[in-house]
């Protein structure tokens, strides 16, 4: 599931490892106590810059907003607000984690996706903006097929935190969604999100490899499988390489191992006139389209770009 853009996260070599960031001891900084919002942000930005973090100002504001339970706009409006000792200690701990390049969503424990708030932790990939396009294409496909009023059957393969399954269920209240993952840990996170967003009656969580646990044919197969090559993963930014689950990223030598296996199984699992949607890497469109034609010789295949113009989704009309 990656771009963010993947082109910016996988430059061919990872940035040089920074020395372990030591958050400066407060008295040595010459800062008054207690700090106010402006001073705390200045301190955090300085620490994150020293640690070669990619977006120090934004990350500092998100982390402080999380600690204070404030929006970023409130931080800007009330820069003189003093932090309590507890708030300062919590903020220092969060900044320390970010200095080690731990991704912000793991530190604060959630991520917004398609207008909804999802719990995330290191058991699952962090949802990327590009994957919102997959949800949009699912909803578009349902409209084009005239399935909006019926109980559309959907399988979300490689569900992870459950973002695709949950978003589809919330937008299609009559849909029946199977959310499949090979990781029991990931399914625990997905179950939390399914319950929090109140779609338990629509989504069935299934543990197993690819389509093995699917009990019935479905009208829509959606898959966001590992598609990063092993070499690219080794060269990824520390935020990705050191923290996100490797099994959810590593697609083998060319990034297509899981997609190949899925395409071998998909024809027996799609209903008549069913549709398959795959998220892919930015340079994988022609290769995946060729694999699809082998699995579905009579299908219509579309390679669809993301907002940056890179190949991102393959849609198969069987």
Q: Give the architecture-level CATH label for domain 111-317.
A: 3-Layer(aba) Sandwich (3.40)
pLDDT for 282 equals: 95
pLDDT for 150 equals: 79
Portion of the chain with pLDDT greater than 90, in percent: 88
The half-sphere exposure of 307 on its side-chain side, counting CA atoms within 13 A, is 11
pLDDT for 33 equals: 65
- Rounded Cα distance between 242 and 228, Å, is 15
Q: Which CATH number fits domain 21-99: 1.20.1090.10, 1.10.8.10, 3.40.109.10, 3.40.718.10?
A: 1.10.8.10
pLDDT tens-digit readout, 128-176: 999 999 999 999 999 999 998 778 999 999 999 999 999 999 999 999 9
- Rounded Cα distance between 94 and 60, Å, is 9
Domain extents for the chain? 21-99, 111-317
pLDDT for 148 equals: 81
pLDDT level of residue 295 (50, 70, 90 thresholds): very high
Note if the pTM is more than 0.85: yes
* Contact predicate 162/193, CB 8 Å: yes
pLDDT for 134 equals: 98
Q: Which residue has the higher pLDDT, 5 or 265?
A: 265
pLDDT mean across residues, the chain:
91
């Amino acid at each position: 599931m990656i771009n963010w853009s993947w082109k910016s996260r996988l430059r061919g070599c990872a940035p040089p490892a920074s020395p372990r960031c030591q958050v400066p001891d407060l008295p040595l900084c010459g800062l008054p106590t207690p700090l106010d919002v402006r001073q705390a942000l200045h301190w955090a930005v300085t620490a994150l810059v020293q640690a070669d973090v990619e977006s120090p100002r934004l990350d500092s504001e998100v982390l402080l907003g999380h600690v204070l339970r404030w929006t970023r706009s409130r931080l800007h409006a009330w820069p003189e607000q003093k932090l309590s000792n507890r708030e300062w200690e919590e903020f220092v701990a969060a900044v320390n984690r970010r200095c080690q390049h731990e991704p912000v969503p793991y530190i604060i424990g959630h991520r917004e996706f398609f207008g909804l708030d999802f719990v995330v932790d290191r058991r699952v990939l962090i949802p990327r903006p590009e994957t919102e396009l997959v949800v949009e294409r699912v909803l578009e496909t349902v409209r084009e097929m005239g399935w909006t009023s019926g109980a559309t059957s959907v399988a979300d393969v490689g569900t992870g935190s459950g973002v695709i399954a949950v978003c589809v269920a919330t937008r299609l209240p009559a849909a029946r969604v199977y959310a499949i993952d090979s990781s029991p840990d990931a399914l625990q996170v997905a179950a939390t999100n399914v319950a929090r967003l109140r779609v338990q009656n629509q989504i069935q969580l299934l543990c197993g490899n690819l389509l093995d646990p699917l009990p019935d044919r479905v009208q829509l197969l959606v898959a966001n499988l590992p598609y990063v090559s092993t070499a690219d993963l080794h060269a990824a930014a520390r935020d990705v390489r050191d923290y996100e689950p490797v099994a959810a990223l590593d697609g083998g030598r060319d990034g297509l191992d899981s997609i190949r296996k899925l395409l071998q199984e998909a024809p027996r699992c799609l209903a008549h006139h069913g549709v398959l949607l795959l998220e892919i890497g930015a340079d994988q469109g022609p290769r995946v389209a060729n694999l699809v034609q082998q699995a579905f010789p009579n299908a219509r295949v579309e390679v669809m770009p993301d907002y940056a113009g890179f190949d991102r989704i393959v849609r198969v009309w069987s």
